[in-house]
Structure 1
């Protein structure tokens, strides 16, 4: 799968990758040197952490949809806010509001380096 050419395309590209149900296709969208929060307040890092997290998400039956709320870019770094869900028929399996940090690669494509799948949820409050 080709990387998105702009950070604004990252959410749609990521949903398309997840909907292939192919682990390597999804992992290619990420810079696995970064961090992912597959569950609230439970970050993972490193290739094995990302692999385990993505495999768990791929095990959820259904189709992923990601809507971009905003995407702000400064040079080769961008931050996006998303609303995403996985639905199976009419049943919502999981839905959340996320925050993603993207970094432009040497070839011009964009990868997600931080994926906080629940980062914009109201239950996350200052301590």
Structure 2
């Protein structure tokens, strides 16, 4: 699977990668020097922990859909806000609102550096 050539295509490419069910294809979407938050309040980093997080999400089984709410880019960095879910037929297995930071690679493609899958879920309290 080819990496996206535009930051705003990262969400759609990530969903397509997840829908292959292949952890190696999903891992290719990430810069594993960054952070992934596979469940609320549990950020992880490093290649092994990224792979473990990817495998746990793939274990949910179903079709992933990601809607890009916005994507803002400056230079070789971009931040995106997403709404995503994993469904099995009519059953929604998981649904959340995420925030992702993407980084352009030397070849012009984009990888996700920070994936906070639940980053837009919480309301600030005073």
Please confirm whether the aligned pair reaches a TM-score higher than 0.5, indicating the same fold: yes
Distance verdict in 2 for CA 1:22–1:31, change over 3 Å? same
Cα offsets for 1:30-82 (capped at 9, x unmatched): 00000000011100100011000000000111100000000000000000000
Q: Secondary structure of 1:73's partner? A: strand
Structure that is richer in strand per residue: 1
* Aligned: 1:23 with 2:31: no
Q: Distance in 1 between matches of 2:61 and 2:112?
A: 23
Matches within 5 A, 1:111-122: 111-122=111-122
Matches within 5 A, 1:1-127: 1-123=1-123, 125=124
Cα offsets for 1:84-110 (capped at 9, x unmatched): 000001000000000000000011000
Equivalent pairs, count: 126
Q: Which runs of 5+ in 1 are unaligned?
A: none
Q: Which runs of 5+ in 2 are unaligned?
A: none
TM-score, normalised to structure 1, is 0.96
Q: Distance in 2 between matches of 1:92 and 1:74?
A: 34
Tell me by how many angstroms 1:126 deviates. Answer: 5.4
Tell me by how many angstroms 1:115 deviates. Answer: 0.1
